[in-house]
């Protein structure tokens, strides 16, 4: 049996980024290094780089998120980027969307332990919850799927003129080019690549931003949303 890797001390940048929530960030890192590894949510080799590669890399996404908006973290997994984002931005109303039960159980435990009252955990796939969850201003995602496929799940969850923020690596530009046609069909009106986390992470975190117009998901998903809304109204009248 391989000996578990040891979680390194939090870097000084973490104190600056998480502020009053630094203690909670440390507890979350410990949970990822312990229960997260035991439950197969984080690979043991990731433990030594949890702070730089995972927590801080995700927390700096906050630079791209507007104030006071609703956020849905699609395929949240172990809570990345949703939980670091929640720790630094209590002004946000965040939904952690994840289909696997063992992961949602972990997320629920973390949210309760850290007292994240502005975070809700929902078990389900993005395509299943459309029309059941209120549309959000911002969809976030990290390491879920290639951009074209991720967009088919995330963009339809947006409200008109919302945006999807996907944390990507070195392939961001190539993925964006390859997904151009799919994004256009999904109602995207603008795309860009952002680099965030100056002075905190090196290399900087790369974010693909996809902004939508008045019909997120395009015509096909507009019809689905309308049908879901009619079904919801019918149920409420019963």
Whole-angstrom distance, CA of residue 61 vs CA of residue 82: 10
pTM of the full structure: 0.91
Residue 3 near residue 45 (C-beta atoms within 8 A): no
The residue among 151, 156, 152 whose CA lies nearest residue 208 is 151
Q: Are 97 and 76 in contact (CB under 8 A)?
A: yes
Residue 1 pLDDT class (50, 70, 90 cuts): very low
Strands (E), 75-118: 93-98
Residue 12, exposed/middle/buried by CB under 10 A (0-12, 13-18, 19+)? exposed
Q: For 5-51, how does the pLDDT look when each residue is reduced to its tens digit (9 = 90+)?
A: 799 999 999 999 999 999 999 999 999 999 999 999 999 999 999 99
Would you state the pLDDT for residue 217? Answer: 84
CB atoms within 10 A of CB 144: 19
Q: What is the pLDDT of residues 46-104, one digit of tens each?
A: 999 999 999 999 999 999 999 999 999 999 999 999 999 999 999 999 999 999 999 99
């Amino acid at each position: 049996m391989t000996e578990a890797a040891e979680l390194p001390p939090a870097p000084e940048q973490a104190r600056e980024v998480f502020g009053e929530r630094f203690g909670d960030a440390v507890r979350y890192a410990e949970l990822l290094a312990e229960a997260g590894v035991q439950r197969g949510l984080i690979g043991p080799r990731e433990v030594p780089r949890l702070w730089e590669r995972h927590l801080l890399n995700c927390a700096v996404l906050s630079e791209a998120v507007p104030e006071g908006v609703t956020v849905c973290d699609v395929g949240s997994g172990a809570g990345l980027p949703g939980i670091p984002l929640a720790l630094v931005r209590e002004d946000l109303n965040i939904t952690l969307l994840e289909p696997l039960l063992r992961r949602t159980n972990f997320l629920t435990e973390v949210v309760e332990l850290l007292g994240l009252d502005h975070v809700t955990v929902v078990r389900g796939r993005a395509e299943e919850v459309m029309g059941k969850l209120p549309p959000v201003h911002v969809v976030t995602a990290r390491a879920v799927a290639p951009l074209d496929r991720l967009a088919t799940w995330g963009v339809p969850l947006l409200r008109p003129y919302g945006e999807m923020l996907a944390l990507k690596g070195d392939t961001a530009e190539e993925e964006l080019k390859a997904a151009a046609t799919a994004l256009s069909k999904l109602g995207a009106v603008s795309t860009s690549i952002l680099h965030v986390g100056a002075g905190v992470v090196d290399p900087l975190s790369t974010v693909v931003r996809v902004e939508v117009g008045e019909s997120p998901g395009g015509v096909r998903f507009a019809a689905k949303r309308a049908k879901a809304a009619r079904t919801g109204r019918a149920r409420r009248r019963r």
